[in-house]
Structure 1
């Protein structure tokens, strides 16, 4: 008798897992909107581009911290980071986007960071970051 009740309960749980909860949107667009709202609640800074590597580094660290808290997919992280680009940064990104589309580059956070670092953090700054990181150990 108890085994049958447990079996029934487990069967209902399995059924419920396959369903979208009532308060969750079925429309992926709505899910994207809610994700963007959550992202915006962190007051992410805009990024304008420019020659100052410290500004770029601070912006990138802030974005990493936000995405660590939100635990979004890499694709969504890249999309939302780009959403914060304005001015020169937006223009530069449009060139990168065209290159990625042409080459079939995956929208991963690693690929985004490689492009971002190449554009805004000169090798000398990247080496300093590595040295600072090593000294932390």
Structure 2
């Protein structure tokens, strides 16, 4: 299950790099939550939300996001990512971008029944 934590303020992180990117050291100093692939739907959403909040505060470019987030995956989630890497290498597709990572992540860890239920709720609101 994801461990929800408050992200530290930019002042606690010695400000961002002058080049507008972010470093693993800065990312790690925020004490990002880990995700083990278990838990309810909210745990999946909370983990992504927390990680993206950190990326936003640090003004991370797209390039390091998957690497940094991958470091916070443990257990079943880490095994899933490792199998994804093997598949991509076999297909010759190589590096994955953050948007594709999130898509694949939600496909794997966000139960289809919850996705369909939320779609119905949204349809009923409109």
The answer, yes or no, to whether TM exceeds 0.5 is yes
Look up the match of 1:92: 80
Give the TM-score, by structure 2 length: 0.69
Q: Distance in 2 between the 1:77 and 1:129 partners?
A: 28
Q: Which residues in structure 2 correspond to 1:111-126 (within 5 Å)?
A: 111-126=100-115
Unaligned runs of 5+ residues in structure 2 are 1-16
Cα–Cα, structure 1 residues 49 and 35, in superposed 2: closer, same or farther, change >3 Å? same
Look up the match of 1:47: 35
- Structure 1 moving runs of 4+ over 4 Å: 129-132
RMSD: 2.7
Q: State the number of aligned residues.
A: 104
Look up the match of 1:69: 57
- Residue 69 (structure 1) shift: 1.5
Give the TM-score, by structure 1 length: 0.64
Q: Distance in 2 between the 1:131 and 1:36 partners?
A: 39
- Residue 101 (structure 1) shift: 2.0
Q: Distance in 1 between the 2:78 and 2:69 partners?
A: 11
1:36 equivalent to 2:30? Answer no
